[in-house]
């Protein structure tokens, strides 16, 4: 269940480079747009923080999964989207600025809400209650180091070298796709001896949770009147979770391999499903909409 060197060392470096490239596609106006029209941020945050854990509780009960699996399912549902979700939003031509803001906002709120949902799940399914405290400094440091800092570098580069930044956009997408493909292979190889057992134990529940998150994002976006790019950003944020946090909690704080199974399975399944969502986004959103000046009617 432990991360391989490919994931623990290679992924942060690759994501840092990718986030610089993502920053090259952004301007201050993009973030101002999120602040002026905060509906996407509100919808995404409420769905991420409150609705996803509720869905996990419902799935665990309806599918009658073992208690440890049920707790693990709630934990992965209560985790925020990770930096990988920003890459998927880039690939799907969604609203990257909204995705980044949602990642940061949900990650900071999760410091308070994740322990609450963990204790609720432990009490409901296992009859125990433990106090969980996430490392605030490490969480904030990760967000600054892998999200905000490289994005700021990319935005500064775009300001100084706009023509070169536009040319680099295609290279970033290709590099991102290669990184995700390698990551999927690495994850599968890492659990190859256990993959069928893991899928049998937690596959149906985690797959339904992933699909429910994506469907919730697209549906909530439509109901709330969000643009296609905003809806895609919300859907990706709900579907692509930070499984690293879930694994850290289950393996180090709760010291339970059984509870880590949903996070491990989710960490594998979310990538191919995320690829399908990215392909869907690229089909419905013309490239010109991404490169055009930001405006509400553009989508």
∠ CA 168-171-172, rounded to 5°: 85
Tally the C-alpha atoms within 13 A of residue 247's C-alpha that lie toward its C-beta: 16
- What is the reported pLDDT for 219? 93
As a whole number of Å, the end-to-end CA separation of the chain is 41
Q: What are the structural domains of the chain?
A: 7-281 (1.20.1530.20)
- CA–CA–CA angle 158, 163, 169 (5° rounding): 70
Residue 7 host element (H or E): none
Backbone angles phi, psi at 241, to 5 degrees: -95, 160
- For residues 40, 42, 46, 52, the Cα torsion angle rounded to the nearest 10 degrees is 10
CA-angle at 285, arms to 291 and 158, nearest 5°: 20
The pLDDT averaged over each successive group of 10 residues in the chain (299 residues) is 54 71 73 78 90 94 88 90 80 86 80 84 78 64 74 84 74 65 61 68 88 92 89 91 76 75 83 87 73 45
CA distances from 59 to 206, 253, 289 (A): 9, 24, 37
pLDDT at 181: 60
Q: What is the pLDDT of residue 297?
A: 42
136: exposed, middle or buried (Cβ count in 10 Å: 0-12, 13-18, 19+): exposed
For 18-36, b where at least 16 C-beta lie within 10 A, e where not — what string? bbbbbbbbbbeebbebbee
Question: What pLDDT does residue 5 have?
Answer: 56
Other Cβ atoms within 10 Å of 55 Cβ, number: 19
Query: In this predicted structure, what is the pLDDT of residue 207?
Result: 92
- Provide the sign of the torsion angle of the four alpha carbons 111, 136, 152, 273, taken in this order: negative
């Amino acid at each position: 269940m432990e991360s391989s060197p490919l994931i623990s060392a290679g992924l942060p470096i690759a994501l840092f480079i990718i986030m610089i490239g993502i920053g090259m596609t952004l301007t201050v106006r993009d973030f101002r747009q999120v602040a002026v029209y905060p509906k996407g941020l509100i919808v995404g945050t409420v769905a991420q923080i409150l609705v996803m854990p509720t869905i996990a509780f419902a799935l665990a009960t309806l599918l009658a999964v073992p208690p440890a699996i049920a707790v693990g399912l709630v934990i992965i549902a209560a985790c925020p989207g990770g930096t990988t979700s920003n890459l998927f939003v880039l690939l799907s031509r969604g609203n990257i600025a909204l995705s980044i803001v949602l990642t940061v906002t949900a990650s900071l709120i999760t410091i308070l809400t994740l322990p609450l949902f963990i204790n609720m799940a432990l009490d409901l399914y296992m009859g125990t209650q433990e106090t969980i405290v996430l490392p605030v400094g490490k969480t904030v440091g990760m967000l600054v180091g892998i999200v905000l800092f490289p994005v700021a570098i990319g935005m500064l580069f775009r300001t100084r070298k706009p023509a070169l930044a536009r040319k680099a956009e295609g290279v970033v997408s290709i590099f991102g796709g290669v990184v995700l493909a390698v990551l999927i292979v690495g994850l599968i190889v890492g659990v190859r001896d256990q993959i069928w057992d893991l899928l049998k134990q937690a596959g149906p529940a985690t797959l339904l949770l992933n699909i429910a998150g994506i469907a919730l994002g697209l549906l909530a976006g439509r109901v709330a009147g969000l643009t296609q790019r905003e809806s895609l950003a919300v859907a990706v944020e709900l579907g692509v979770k930070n499984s690293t946090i879930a694994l850290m909690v289950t393996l180090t704080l709760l010291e339970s391999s059984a509870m880590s199974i949903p996070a491990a399975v989710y960490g594998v399944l979310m990538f191919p499903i995320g690829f399908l969502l990215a392909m869907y986004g690229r089909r419905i959103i013309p490239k010109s909409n991404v490169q055009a000046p930001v405006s509400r009617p553009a989508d």
